Amino acid sequence: MNISEFWGQYYRPVIYTLMILVTVFVFVNPLGLPLTVEENSNKFYQAIEDLPPRSMVVINVKYGGGAWGEVGSAHKALVKHCREKDLRMVFISTNIEGPLMLEKVINEIGGHSFLGEYGVDWANLGYSPGGEVALASMARDPDGFHATYELDYYTNKVEELPIMEELWDHSDIDLAVDLITGSMLPMVSQWYVQYNVPIICSSIGANTPETKMYYEAGQVIGYLGSMRGAAEYELLTGYFGDALGSVEALSLTHLLVIAFLILGNAQEAFKRFGGKR
């Protein structure tokens, strides 16, 4: 059996094996391929950088397990970035899976103690049903968050958490972050349009075109688009995680596919024109 016959019979397992090997190699030995940081990702990063210490950041964890690969890395880098800047974080969720995603993030970056003292440096209020109605309720003065949440995710009374003594309604939010799989229209409508709360966003790829429209309209300060945006944010923060490795793996596997396309076409051309006349 010559090479041409072998390739014709076994090209599928050869391609799959090489794709797997390239992907594993890149995750084990990152190559540091060049990555251009887009303006929207830089503005997402800068929005955090510009906040003074102890600013109040409200983070809506509005994604589930199916979006972990696109949003999870950005979520982890965001929490680390906020801790480095000594920002206070209050987590809410209008997605029922959101609190589980937050717990996964916390466990992967070092546990609850990494975020500081609970109730002082951060709080997890948990899931609130109603979507846009819930966001409208939280932002409403004079006590929207307290009216919406009686207990936090861990069943502590919200009114007894020191951090919540300084978070009552929209006027106490220094920056809002939407980590989403669906539309960010609810937060834009209820927090930005109504009260001009500054917002940044990390979304899955399918929602990036919509998010870009809000960004270009000036209603969102900056955003991260899917895994690529998360990789750019990891590069900016220096918190190298899964996103950078994934983007490198995607780049190399795409190059591998292109190489196979060239090889296949060259082989076909040789068969047609390189044989005996």
- The CATH number of whichever domain residue 199 belongs to comes to 3.40.50.1220
What's the pLDDT at 275?
58
**133 and 158 part of one domain:** yes
| Contact of 64 with 181, CB cutoff 8 Å | yes
Amino acid at 14: V
Segment 116-159, tens digit of pLDDT: 999 999 999 999 999 999 999 999 989 999 999 999 999 999 99
Task: Specify whether 81 is located in the same domain as 122.
Answer: yes
pLDDT, tens only, 93-113: 999 999 999 999 999 999 999
Overall number of domains in the chain:
2
Residues 141 and 8 in one domain: no
- Cβ–Cβ under 8 Å, residues 204 and 236: no
- Output the CA torsion sign for 137, 141, 144, 147: negative
User: CB of 156 within 8 A of CB of 122?
Assistant: no
> What Å distances lie between residue 151 and 20, 58, 134, 154, 273, CA to CA?
46, 17, 15, 8, 76
Residues 6+ apart with CB under 8 A from 10: none
Q: Look up the pTM and report it.
A: 0.88
pLDDT of residue 244 exceeding 60: yes
Residues 24 and 101 in one domain: no
Cβ 246 vs Cβ 227: under 8 Å = yes
Averaged pLDDT score across all residues of the chain: 93
Range of the domain at 142: 39-240
- 68 and 157 in one domain? yes
| Pair 63, 131 in one domain | yes
Q: How far is CA 57 from the centre of its chain?
A: 16
The pair of structure tokens assigned to 94 is 């209008």
User: Which of 106, 168, 178, 173 is CA-nearest to residue 137?
Assistant: 168
DSSP 151: B
Co-location of 67 and 101 in the same domain:
yes
